[in-house]
Structure 1
Amino acid sequence: MNREPATAVAPVLEIDDLHVAFATPAGRVQAVRGVSLTLAPGETLAVVGESGSGKSVTARAVLGLLGPSGVVESGSVRFRGTPLTGASERQLRRVRGNEIAMVFQDPMTALDPTVPVGRQVSEPLRIHRGISRRAADAAAVRLLESVGIENAAERRRQFPHQFSGGQRQRICIATALACDPAILIADEPTTALDVVVQAQVLDLLAGLRGSASTSVIFITHDLGVVASIADRVAVMYAGRIVEIGTTTEIFLNPQHPYTWGLLASLPTGTADRLHEIPGTPPDMLRPPPGDAFAARNPDARQIDLEVQPPLIEVSPTHAAATWLLAEGAPEAPVPPEIAARHARFRERADRTTIGPTPGPTTDRTVEP
């Protein structure tokens, strides 16, 4: 199985076997290597991985924002059945900010420092909806108010530097939501924010969960922030999806050693020191022939060094790319950090719900 588990609802976005590379002075960097994803209407999908795993490149490839050195070498992206790969710049401009909008990591560089924020929020409406300046300005005030900007009617005339970092990110979200897009891509939107403001932005994005009109792709390196906002989680490593499932499945029944490492690395408030995943990511100029995580996996076998594992089904909604799931594979001991976390997660899950209910699992589930 090389694809993610199928979904019952017709997807609003389909990414099929996407390969993206960048030309650099050192050679060709293979940033994305065979990613396949679907996004259902109203769904929030979190894409998680270390820096350089290919998650942001995948998102930028959707909108044709790879820059002059990036190229989609193969694969396809379809929005509501219409191909985006190979589309002209004119066709993509009709989609960007209208049907698919993106919130970037650094709001200070995403916003034009020379233009009042109200005009920046209203601009997509004037471009894509063709409404008057007065109507667009009124809509901008409503949008700014909806994301928690107080005194929006007055503050819309102010410039980005007159707002805090969290407020600037809220303004970026308001701009992205201006045209009521079918898809909102949030690329590391909380990375540069303190924990209090981060929580506020996450609450804002969580409010979109289950919306009939907007699906969300939430990109982050921090698995800990996705539990309350995502329906599904895709874990990326070295340009590939190594595990995908419902949020509950990823947190309570992870199958890939890299996912184990990410979960074990989450701070608990009780441990003396944080767990670290040993080793470093592979050189994407020369990716290894087998499992890219093998060099960092203490349970790796010879096949991991030689053959790249496909996504193997765990349940109808859950799959992982690890030879540990292959028939006849030896049992790998669950790291003690994961066992301890499972006990806490399950105890917490008895009181609350983490994401949707998981599908049935195989007999190779990881138990605490």
Structure 2
Amino acid sequence: MTADPSGMARPATLEDVARVAGVSRATVSRVVNGAHTVDPRLRSAVEQAVSQTGYVPNRAARSLVTRRADSVALVVSERERRAVHDPFIGRMFTDPYFGRVVSGLLEVLRPSGVQLMLMLADDAASRDQLVGYLRQGHADGVVLISSHSADPLPEMLTRARLPAVLAARPADPGPPIAHVDIDQHAGAGLAADRLAALGRTRIGTVSGPLDMPAGRDRLEGFRDALAAHGIHEVAAVEGDFTQAGGAAAMRRLLAERPDLDGLFVASDLMALGALPVLYRAGKRLPEDVAVVGFDDSSAALACDPPLTTVRQPVEEMAAEMARLLLRQIGEPGRTVPSVIFRAELVARQSA
């Protein structure tokens, strides 16, 4: 803060910084706006003057120059409108996946001075409102968590030519949108290989939702790998990637296959719900049933015993989403490649 002629404190201006630094106002402006062509000695003098005067850049004025909002939206797209009290709203803050995505995004966005906002899209009206909001320049791009094959939002973002990265591969056929994913098929195959190596033959699985590419890919990858081991009969019950859904699916699976000795649960959170059901049925882990999960989230360590699982490096994947999005924003019209991460098995005590 500096003082005006009346002695009252006022916010520091570019002129104040320029006077303290002994440079022109234009040089201060270039430093504040991130220009890379400023002499390092002048940049250092300006940065010291900014610290000394307490100058805070006017983001609104900067946006007029750069035509950017310096923010991106993390959009969670659901199939249908849900009431405010619907468990999904709470699940966003309790499911380890969402927290890990935010952590990975912020690792890249914070050093770039880009803010992250959370937005929900759960019906046609909210999707139209979202696209309109983005086209008006209130955010520079989108990281989209869209889990269902029929979701029109990826196509809407592509058609509007908005920078966007999808946090999973799009459904087939899908729009030409950049995405970051893990090799879901191969990852589930690692779970099958583990169970087969343990000599388990009466195998079942709690799959993810089959209207999601990840749910289908994990189920197909698991079945394909078991078939390569000569195991063609696999009992499968569809789950919903929640703890309660895992418990419900496990009860149905045990009713269908009470003698199972190997189990793949397509998410750690579902496994956290499934294991107590196995215990109540008198099953011991891993003696009676060997169990493998998927994600390597905090839920895997909350299981008793700790869960053998397929690691999905969510934080690293989210950081890559942020990098791809910033590249699109920085170079409009640029096509950025999609990135597929490799899965790996993390062996613990459940299998």
Q: TM-score, normalised by structure 1?
A: 0.28
Larger relative contact order (CA 8 Å, sep ≥ 6)? 1
Larger Rg: 2
Q: TM-score, normalised by structure 2?
A: 0.29
Which structure dedicates a bigger proportion of its chain to helix? Answer: 2
